[in-house]
Copies of this chain bind each other. A is one copy, B any other.
Amino acid sequence: MAELVNVMPLFNDLAKIEPEHRVACQDCSLFRLCLPLGLQNSDLAQLDTIIKRSQSYKRAHTLFSTDNEFKSLYVVRSGSFKTTISAVNGREQVTGFYFPGEFIGLDAIHQQSYQSNAKALETSSVCELPFENLQEIGKKMPQLQIQLLTRLSKELSSDKNLMLLLGKKTADEKIATFLLSLSKRFQDRGFSATEFQLTMSRSDIANHLGLAVETVSRVMSRFQEDGLIVINGKAISLRNTTAINAMCG
């Protein structure tokens, strides 16, 4: 088996860079990826007053589930999360993975109740935005509302692309698309685009992409044989992004 050294840090290493969970938005390394983007300093200070910064949660900690009362939206501060919805017969669909700077709970707004369950994939922390307060200060801060709108629109757009993936792509195309999507997001966050950790299990990946775990395993093994990637447990290295990109369909 090919060797993989020099594995890039997990996202929860952000927590090490920024251990103070009281750090204000303007000093946060996620600033340019996060909600406050485009806000005036005075507005920012006001936003800061309503944000509750969480302690870190352990792997598998449930951030919220459909039977919790909807109170807050969350932004990932460090680590990563998955969201799921379940069908009546118990089957579950992993509807998304969330990394630092990304919002969780946006689909709860319309019914004022959580429509999905959110769970930490590793040691993680969040910024909690009590929705009522957010709406309150939003009334005087159009820029904040626009940011929120923009975030929702972005998630909508990426969900439509996931529909295309689920409805039309082959197993190979699904995995290739998934890996590149992660790569892109890691790069946006200042991490390596080619060496990163799959913080979610193979079965989470399989579920999210509408595949069986075995298929994910097999496709990844084959990608490795073909020199596209190198896998070592949860660590992955993209060795031929051009070829992977060409496989996205």
Contacts and interface: CB of A to CB of B under 8 A. Distances in A.
Interface in A135-182: 135, 138-139, 142, 145-146, 148-157, 159-164, 166-169
A138 B148 contact: no
A146 to B, nearest CB: 7
A16 interface: no
A106 B156 contact: yes
A160 B95 contact: yes
B168 A93 contact: yes
Contacts of A38: none
Interface stretch (A20-28, A81-89, A118-126, A186-194): A81-89
A153 B210 contact: no
A124 B157 CA distance: 25
A153 B87 contact: no
Given A91-B164, A110-B154, A167-B207, 12 more contacts: A85-B161, A87-B164, A87-B249, A88-B249, A91-B249, A93-B164, A107-B157, A135-B142, A145-B145, A149-B149, A152-B156, A159-B163
7 contacts: A85-B160, A89-B249, A95-B163, A106-B153, A107-B153, A145-B145, A156-B159
